[in-house]
Amino acid sequence: MSIKKNVDLATSLKGIVQKKLEELGIKFCEEIDRGVFPTVQMRSRSTSNIFYSPKYRQYILGKSKVTRSSRNIAHLRPFAQMVWTAYFVHELLKQKKTSTLRDVYYSAQAYDIFFKDQSESDDIITDLETVIEYPRESFNVFPEERSAVFGDLTIEYTVPGYEGRRMNLSSHPDGVMIGPALTDARFVKTSADKVIVVEKGAMFTRFVEEKVYEKFNAILIYTAGQAPRSTRYFIRRLNRELDFPVYIFSDADPWGMHIAMVIISGSANAAHLRELTTPDAKWAGVWASDITNYKLPSEKLSEIDVKRLRELRNDPRYKDRHWQNQIDIFMKIKKKCELEAFSRYGLTHIVDRYLPERLKELGA
Amino acid sequence: MAGFTNPARSIFTSIRELVENSLDAADVARIPPEIYIRLSRDDDSDDTYTLRVADNGSGISPHHIPLAFGQFLFSSKYRLKQARGTFGLGGTMAILYGQITTNKPVKVISSTGKSLIVEYRLLINIEKNRPIILDRKIHANSRAKSKRWRGTVVEIHLRGSYAQAMPKVLEYLKQTAMANPYANIIFVDPRGRLYKFDRTVEKMPPPPKEINPHPYGVDVETLQRIMRSTTEDNMLKFMQKHFHRVGEKIARDFLKRAGIPEDRDPKTLRPEEIVDLVKKMKEYDGFLPPEADCLSPLGEDLLREGVLKELEPEFVAVRQRKPSAYSGHPFIVEVAIAYGGKVPAKDDILLYRFANKIPLVYDESGDVCWKIVRSINWRRYNLTPNMPFAIIIHVCSTKIPYKTLGKEILADQLEVSREILNGIREVARQLARYLSRKERVKRQVRRLTVFSRYLPKIARFSADLAGRKPPDISKLYQRKQVFKDFITSGKYVDSEIFDSHRYSVVFVHIQNKHKENPAAVRVLGLVNSKWEVLIPESTLTSGSEIYETLRGRYEAVKIQAKSLKPDKKSLIDAYIDGLSQ
**Average pLDDT over chain B, rounded to whole?**
89
Phi, psi of B116 (to 5 degrees): -115, 150
pLDDT digits 0-9 by tens, A64-83? 999 999 988 889 999 999 99
User: Of the listed A59, A87, A105, A106, which one is catalytic?
Assistant: A106
Q: What is the pLDDT of residue B87?
A: 44
Q: What is the pLDDT of residue B76?
A: 47
CB contact at 8 A, B148 and B113: yes
Of A291 and A12, which is predicted with more confidence?
A: A291
Q: What is the pLDDT of residue B362?
A: 83
Lowest mean pLDDT among B25-34, B61-70, B169-178: B61-70
CA distance A46 to A206: 42
What residues in chain A have their Cβ under 8 A from chain B's Cβ atoms?
Answer: 21-22, 24-26, 28-30, 32-33, 35-38, 70-71, 73, 76-77, 79-80, 83-84, 86-87, 90, 111-113
User: What is the ipTM score, two decimals?
Assistant: 0.78
pLDDT over 90 for what percent of chain A? 60
B546 pLDDT above the threshold of 90: no
Residue B577 forms beta bridges with which residues? B479, B507
Q: Could you give the 3-state DSSP secondary structure of residue B482? A: strand
Q: What is the pLDDT of residue B348?
A: 87
CB contact at 8 A, B98 and B156: yes
Contacts of A178 (CB under 8 A, 6+ apart): A146, A147, A148, A149, A221, A228, A230, A231, A234
Provide the shortest C-alpha distance from residue A26 to chain B (in Å). Answer: 5
Cβ-Cβ pairs closer than 8 A, A with B, add up to: 91
CB contact at 8 A, B481 and B495: no
Largest CA distance in chain A: 74
B171 pLDDT above the threshold of 60: yes
**Taking CB atoms and an 8 Å limit, are B457 and A113 in contact across chains?**
yes
Q: What is the pLDDT of residue A1?
A: 67
pLDDT digits 0-9 by tens, B364-373? 778 889 999 9
B103 pLDDT above the threshold of 60: yes
Helix (DSSP H) and strand (DSSP E) numbers for chain B? 11, 23
Q: What is the pLDDT of residue B355?
A: 92
Peptide bond into A208 cis (omega under 30): no
CA distance A44 to A66: 5
| Range ranked top by mean pLDDT from B37-41, B61-65, B438-442 | B37-41
Q: What is the pLDDT of residue A278?
A: 94
A10 pLDDT above the threshold of 70: no
Provide the shortest C-alpha distance from residue B475 to chain A (in Å). Answer: 5
Q: What is the pLDDT of residue B134?
A: 92
Q: What is the pLDDT of residue B333?
A: 95
CA distance A347 to A341: 10
CB contact at 8 A, B498 and B506: yes
CA distance A100 to B21: 81
Lowest mean pLDDT among A158-162, B76-80, B265-269, B404-408: B76-80
**Taking CB atoms and an 8 Å limit, are B461 and A86 in contact across chains?**
yes
| Closest residue in chain B to residue A86, using alpha carbons only | B465
Alpha helices in chain A (DSSP H): 9-33, 73-94, 101-107, 118-132, 180-183, 201-209, 212-215, 229-242, 254-265, 288-293, 303-313, 321-333, 349, 355-361
Other C-beta atoms closer than 10 Å to the C-beta of A70 total 27
Mean pLDDT, to the nearest integer, of B152-181?
94
CA distance A40 to B384: 44
pLDDT digits 0-9 by tens, B468-517? 999 999 989 999 999 999 999 999 999 999 999 889 889 999 999 998 88
Q: Is A149 left (phi over 0), alpha (psi -120 to 50) or beta?
A: beta
B196 pLDDT above the threshold of 50: yes
H/E element holding B535?
Answer: strand B530-540
Partner residue facing A32 (CB), from B459, B465, B502: B459
Q: What share of chain B is helix, strand, coil (3-state, %, to 5)?
A: 35, 30, 35
Provide the shortest C-alpha distance from residue B446 to chain A (in Å). Answer: 10
B86 pLDDT above the threshold of 50: no
**Taking CB atoms and an 8 Å limit, are B455 and A22 in contact across chains?**
no
B464 chain-A contacts, CB cut-off 8 A:
25, 87, 90
Domains of chain B: 7-197 (3.30.565.10), 215-283 (1.10.8.50), 300-434 (3.30.230.10), 472-579 (2.60.120.510)
Mean pLDDT, to the nearest integer, of B454-468?
94
B77 pLDDT above the threshold of 60: no
**Taking CB atoms and an 8 Å limit, are B458 and A79 in contact across chains?**
yes
CA distance B382 to B390: 15
| Closest residue in chain A to residue B449, using alpha carbons only | A73
Of A3 and B270, which is predicted with more confidence?
A: B270
Amino acid at residue number B375: S
CA angle A290/A291/A296 to nearest 5° reads 115
Q: Could you give the 3-state DSSP secondary structure of residue B391? A: strand
CB contact at 8 A, A104 and A88: yes
Contacts of A105 (CB under 8 A, 6+ apart): A115, A117, A118, A121, A122
Phi, psi of B117 (to 5 degrees): -120, 130
**Taking CB atoms and an 8 Å limit, are A24 and B462 in contact across chains?**
yes
CB contact at 8 A, B225 and B339: no
A33 chain-B contacts, CB cut-off 8 A:
471-472
- Structure letter (DSSP) for residue A252: B
Mean pLDDT, to the nearest integer, of B182-187?
96
A21 chain-B contacts, CB cut-off 8 A:
465
CB contact at 8 A, B108 and B153: yes
Contacts of A262 (CB under 8 A, 6+ apart): A226, A227, A232
CA angle A49/A52/A58 to nearest 5° reads 120
Other C-beta atoms closer than 10 Å to the C-beta of A69 total 17
Of A217 and A135, which is predicted with more confidence?
A: A217
Provide the shortest C-alpha distance from residue A20 to chain B (in Å). Answer: 10
Which of B449, B455, B465 is the best substitution to test chain A (most A C-beta atoms within 10 A)? B465
B73 pLDDT above the threshold of 70: no
- Structure letter (DSSP) for residue A318: G
Does the pTM surpass 0.80? The reply is no
B400 pLDDT above the threshold of 70: yes
Domains of chain A: 9-142 (1.10.10.10), 194-361 (3.40.1360.10)
pLDDT digits 0-9 by tens, B405-422? 677 888 888 889 999 999
A6 pLDDT above the threshold of 90: no
B88 pLDDT above the threshold of 60: no
**Average pLDDT over chain A, rounded to whole?**
90
CA distance A352 to A350: 6
Lowest mean pLDDT among A193-197, A341-345, B404-408, B493-497: B404-408
CA distance A118 to A116: 7
Amino acid at residue number A107: S
- Structure letter (DSSP) for residue B465: H
CA distance A123 to A142: 14
Other C-beta atoms closer than 10 Å to the C-beta of B375 total 10
CA distance A337 to B340: 65
| Closest residue in chain B to residue A78, using alpha carbons only | B454
C-alpha distance across the termini of chain A, in Å: 18
Residue A106: active-site member: yes
Q: What share of chain A is helix, strand, coil (3-state, %, to 5)?
A: 50, 20, 35
- For residue B377, count CB atoms less than 10 angstroms from its CB and return exposed for 0-12, middle for 13-18, buried for 19 or more: exposed
CB contact at 8 A, B115 and B140: yes
pLDDT interval class at B90 (50, 70, 90):
low
Q: What is the strand order of the sheet B130-140 is part of?
A: B130-140, B116-125, B106-111, B151-159, B48-55, B34-41, B184-188, B194-197
**Taking CB atoms and an 8 Å limit, are A73 and B450 in contact across chains?**
yes
